Amino acid sequence: MAGEMDQHDRTAFEARVVALRPTLHRYAARMVGSALDGEDVVQDAIARAVAAFSRAPPDANVDGWLFRIAHNAATDFIRARGRWRSRMIEEDDLISRADEAASRVATGAALAVFMQLPPSQRGAVILKDVLGYSNEESAGILGSTLAATKAALHRGRDRLRLLADAPGAAPRLDPADLDRLRIYVDRFNARDFDAVRTMIADDVRFDLVARMKGGRSSFETYFSRYGGMTAWHLKVGWIDGRPAAIVTNPADPAGTPTHVIAIDWAGGKISRLRDFYHARYVLDGAAVTLSP
């Protein structure tokens, strides 16, 4: 009976992780300022959560527990990228009187804008104004006092309003990578998968996000599935200022992006490919533009 209960608990936990994944991404993407990096943070957080669940599952409030893990994973990511600029401050207990207006600003702000807030303010604003958590719940997730969380929220809202109105910087591009991406897109659209294979490194990392990971051999099934589908067309574009293959539906005259394929290059070859077909939530809040 105990074994059955343990398996039941694990099954319920895994189902909750799947259901919460898009919301975890909304938080992580804004914490690190990128939809693509946000997904890496989510994958790291899920791996940590699965390992921790095996050792000591949470007694209650699984969602809050998962968000704490995601927050820690995001701050670790920021530290690793050398962008940790937080400082400890003491604040008075400030109470916001503009929740609805603040929520409109936060949900409409580009992901990169959040990176200009200190991490404590960033986390408080995202949890309260984007995800709808209470100040008390936010304090628990952030591991902070209620007073400090309210103070960070107040300051973060003020700063975000100023930043959201400022003009954005033009994306920085690697011309060589952009040329390679154009070639990849042309070959893929032509379903010339033999030509695409020549662009893939032997030690490539493949990630059909939220479904499977693999290496070079995974591309055979991948090409077969795309070859059998018709409701897709790749275009060169950018997501949060980074080159990517933007997927649209040919039947949609507006050309609305349906998902993205992110490609990393090394030595002129594809070293990593992430296809977000099953993780379309990455488009939420991301700045997506298409090449003319």
What would the mean pLDDT of 122-147 be, rounded to a whole number? Answer: 95
Nearby residues of 267 by Cβ (< 8 Å), 6 or more positions away: 201
Same domain, 159 and 186: no
Q: For residues 172 and 170, what is the distance between their CA atoms, to the nearest angstrom?
A: 7
Cα angle vertex 89, ends 85, 94, to 5°?
120
Q: For residues 111 and 123, what is the distance between their CA atoms, to the nearest angstrom?
A: 13
Residue 215 lies in a domain: yes
Same domain, 6 and 140: yes
The mean pLDDT value of the chain amounts to 88
Among 1-5, 116-120, 277-281, the least confident range: 1-5
Domain closes at, from 104, 137, 164: 164
Q: Where residue 115 sits, what CATH number does that domain have?
A: 1.20.140.160
**Residue 72 binned pLDDT confidence (cut-offs 50, 70, 90):** very high
Q: For residues 24 and 131, what is the distance between their CA atoms, to the nearest angstrom?
A: 9
pLDDT, position 103? 80
Same domain, 200 and 105: no
Same domain, 19 and 112: yes
pLDDT, position 112? 82
What domain range includes position 210? 175-290
Over residues 10-26, the pLDDT tens digits come to: 889 999 999 999 999 99
pLDDT, position 58? 85
What would the mean pLDDT of 107-123 be, rounded to a whole number? Answer: 87
Among 113-127, 157-171, 176-190, 246-260, the least confident range: 157-171
What would the mean pLDDT of 187-198 be, rounded to a whole number? Answer: 98
Residue 16 lies in a domain: yes
Domain closes at, from 164, 191, 225: 164
pLDDT, position 209? 97
Over residues 49-60, the pLDDT tens digits come to: 999 998 888 878
Residue 169 lies in a domain: no
Q: For residues 125 and 246, what is the distance between their CA atoms, to the nearest angstrom?
A: 29
Residue in the structure block whose two tokens are 């209470």: 134
**Residue 86 binned pLDDT confidence (cut-offs 50, 70, 90):** very low
**Residue 198 binned pLDDT confidence (cut-offs 50, 70, 90):** very high
Same domain, 158 and 33: yes
Residue 170 lies in a domain: no
Same domain, 94 and 211: no
Q: State the amino acid at position 179 in one-letter form.
A: D
Q: Where residue 189 sits, what CATH number does that domain have?
A: 3.10.450.50
Q: What HEC string does the chain produce?
A: CHHHHHHHHHHHHHHHHHHHHHHHHHHHHHHHCCHHHHHHHHHHHHHHHHHHHHHCCCCCCHHHHHHHHHHHHHHHHHHHCCCCCCCCCCCCCCCCCCHHHHHHHHHHCCHHHHCCCCHHHHHHHHHHHHCCCCHHHHHHHHCCCHHHHHHHHHHHHHHHHHHHCCCCCCCCCCHHHHHHHHHHHHHHHCCCHHHHHCCEEEEEEEEECCCEEECCCHHHHHHHHHHCCCCCEEEEEEECCEEEEEEECCCCCCCCEEEEEEEEEECCEEEEEEECCCCHHHHCCCCEEECC
Among 9-23, 30-44, 58-72, 97-111, the least confident range: 97-111
What would the mean pLDDT of 200-217 be, rounded to a whole number? Answer: 96
Over residues 148-184, the pLDDT tens digits come to: 999 999 999 998 888 876 655 545 557 888 999 999 9
What would the mean pLDDT of 191-220 be, rounded to a whole number? Answer: 96
Domain count, the chain: 2
Q: For residues 112 and 98, what is the distance between their CA atoms, to the nearest angstrom?
A: 23
Domain closes at, from 112, 136, 164: 164
Same domain, 15 and 155: yes
Same domain, 197 and 140: no
